[in-house]
Amino acid sequence: MLNKKISLVVLISGGGSNLQAIIDAIKSNALNAEIKTVISNQVSATGLDRAARANIDSHVISHKQYPDRQSFDRAMIKIIDPLEPDLIVLAGFMRILGDEFIDHYHHCLINIHPSLLPKYKGLNTHQLAIDNCDKKHGASVHFVSHELDSGPVVIQAEVSVLDADDKNSLAARVLEQEHQIYPIAIQMIAEGRLAFSDQQLRLDGQTLTKPLLWKNNQLSA
C-alpha cells in the first residue's frame, strides 16, 4: 500500500481545533502528512497561534480586503499553487468558495461539516438537530462540490443527542468526533486508499456508495 507523505494546505477561520487535531496526528505518526501552510481569512483566528506553535507557516488573507469573492479566491490560489499541495483541507473555514476555486482544486478539496450530511447544510446545525428532536447528530468529512456543504461524503461520525443537551454541549461532543475522523480521512487519502475522480468516490478501488461510519472508535462500511 502506498503511504506517501501527503502535503496539505489548511484553511481556517477561527479556533482551529481541527487544525490542531491534524497537527497532533502528524506528530504522533497517525497521519503521514506535512502542512505546507495555514491560511486564515480572519486575522484574529486563534488557529494561527496553533500554527505558529507548531512552526507552520501561515498567511492571513482577509476577505474584507477584496472587492468580491473571485478576487479573494484568486489571492488564495496565488499562495496555494506554488506550494503544490496534494490536498486542500477546509477546517472551520467559514467563507463560501467560488466556482473557480472549487474547479481549480477539484478532487483535492475536502471539508468537515458538523452534521450528518445531507442533513443541515450551512450554519446552526446543532440547534437544528435539537429543535427537530433528532436522536442522532454528528459530523461528515466530504469532498467539496459546487453547492454549499455538498459533495461525496467519505466518513461520518454519529453522536447521540441527549435530553439534557443544549447546542453547546452537543457541539462539543460532535467536535471530539471531528478531531478523530478528519485525520483518519486524510490518512486514507495519503495511503491512496481513498480518492475522488470522475465524479466517483473510490475506496480500495471500489466505488463507495455510502459514507464509512465511525462509531465506538471503529470504522465500518
Q: Which residues are catalytic?
A: 113
Q: Is 183 in the site for ligand GRF (CB under 6 A)?
A: no
Angle, nearest 10°, between helix axes 17-27 and 167-190?
40
Q: Is 91 in the site for ligand GRF (CB under 6 A)?
A: yes
109-113 β-sheet, strand order: 58-60, 33-40, 6-12, 87-90, 109-113, 136-143, 153-160, 212-215, 218-220
- Restricted to residues 2-41, the positions that interact with ligand GRF (CB under 6 A) are 12, 14-19
CB of 155 to ligand GRF, least distance (A): 13
Among 8, 85, 92, 104, which residue sits at the site for ligand GRF (rule: CB under 6 A)?
Answer: 92
CB of 113 to ligand GRF, least distance (A): 6
Give me the residue whose beta carbon is nearest to ligand GRF.
92
How many residues bind ligand GRF, per CB under 6 A?
Answer: 15
CB of 206 to ligand GRF, least distance (A): 28
As given in the structure block, the three cell numbers for residue 92 are 472551520
DSSP secondary structure string for all residues of 90-129: ESS--SPPPHHHHHHTTTSEEEEESSSTTSS-SS-HHHHH
